[in-house]
Amino acid sequence: MPPSTSNRLYTLDVLRGFAALCVVFWHWQHFFYVGSTPAQFDPTLQPLFSQFKMLYQHGGMAVQLFFTLSGFVFYWLFAAEVADRSLPAARFAWDRFSRLYPLHIVTFMAVAGLQWAYSGGRDGYFVYPFNDAYHALLNLLMVPAWGLEKGWSFNAPFWSVSVEVLLYAAFFLICLCRRWKWPLTVMALALGSYLYPEVYKLGSGVLCFFIGGVTYSVLNQLRRWAGDTGTVVATVPLCIASWVWLVHRADALNGTVLLYVCYPLLVAALAALGFRWHGLARHWGWLGDISYASYLTHFPLQILFAIGFDALALPRTVFYQGWVMLLFFSILIPLSLLTHRWLERPAQRYLRQRRQAVPVAG
């Protein structure tokens, strides 16, 4: 069976965009923080709580879905090129840098300025307290979640991107080992399983990224044996069954089943659908386009909302109102679209063109 010539699966793009928005629901509690802890906060009063209960309570675990998606996509798109040396380390690293750093540095500076403004008339920062020179340096170097930090700092959601930078390096080195690639991948998965959840940031990243890699390997073999239609028939019912079981136990979410079963099956099923029907969910691909922007801009936007509503002398209980959430998302999504269109893409294109323009010594 010939492999797909497309390097984009819209079904996975939509999933990534949805995961980013799930994190926003989880972080809605930020509006009720005094310093770095929630005060007089009743989670059940959050907007449309009964409808979005699972997202309010467990939306933070969408970050682990990011890791699983990344592992799947990187093994799909880059593993073979790295193994046969057709993708040099310098180009791989620069492509990742040009994709991640421009928006990171802009949102980092935005949060630094907004936290300074927020703390001016208050006893502390908004939610994340370690906004000092040391943690600024860690953020500038993209390493605020490598175990060097004292706590959450600046645009703290960036922690998962920081971990991914480390995972990209590990992935590249593993793929260079060619025939040892899959044994090393399984060993990395086992290491992540050992670390998680005690070493939460690195452990969850290592575990889920390499689960994603193994998921790709299994799905790829299944496509060879059963074809694209057979793969859809095999994966979609299993995926649905796993999620039905999980949702019916939502009050006692089984994190092990979620990470080891539900997430891999969800990624596999959506990828199988995308391989079978190219262009499926294309019209919703913009959700994937804005996933990085919505993920990194939602926290600075939260600070701005907190400053603005405080200036209007409105109590924080106003964030229990549905119209405030509607207002927030009505700003976040267009802002993310504009950020992707006018910052992410031009900066990425510029940096990659600059690298191509550098003469090669020889």
The tokens describing 56, both together, are 């309010």
Please report the pLDDT score of residue 175 as a whole number: 98
Q: What's the whole-model pTM score?
A: 0.95
The tokens describing 128, both together, are 């994340």
Confidence category of residue 2, pLDDT binned at 50, 70, 90: very low
Is 62 within a domain?
A: yes
CA nearest neighbour of 26 among 73, 66, 62: 62
Is 362 within a domain?
A: no
Residue with tokens 């059963």: 226
* C-beta separation of 19 from 58 below 8 A: no
Is 5 within a domain?
A: no
Please report the pLDDT score of residue 101 as a whole number: 99
State the DSSP code for 314: -
Q: Span 47-74, mean pLDDT?
A: 97
Q: What's CA 14's distance to the chain center, in Å?
A: 12
pLDDT 10s digits, 146-197:
999 999 999 999 999 999 999 999 999 999 999 999 999 999 999 999 999 9
Is 220 within a domain?
A: yes
Is 260 within a domain?
A: yes
Residue 4 has pLDDT above 50, yes or no: no
Q: Radius of gyration (Cα) for the chain, nearest Å?
A: 21
The rounded distance, in Å, linking the Cα atoms of 320 and 326 is 11
Confidence category of residue 251, pLDDT binned at 50, 70, 90: low
pLDDT 10s digits, 270-319:
999 999 999 999 999 999 999 999 999 999 999 999 999 999 999 999 99
pLDDT 10s digits, 79-88:
999 999 999 9
CA-angle at 16, arms to 14 and 20, nearest 5°: 115
**Structural domain count, the chain:** 1
The rounded distance, in Å, linking the Cα atoms of 77 and 96 is 13
Please report the pLDDT score of residue 1 as a whole number: 38
Domain that holds residue 313: 10-357
Q: How many residues does the chain have?
A: 362
* C-beta separation of 121 from 25 below 8 A: no
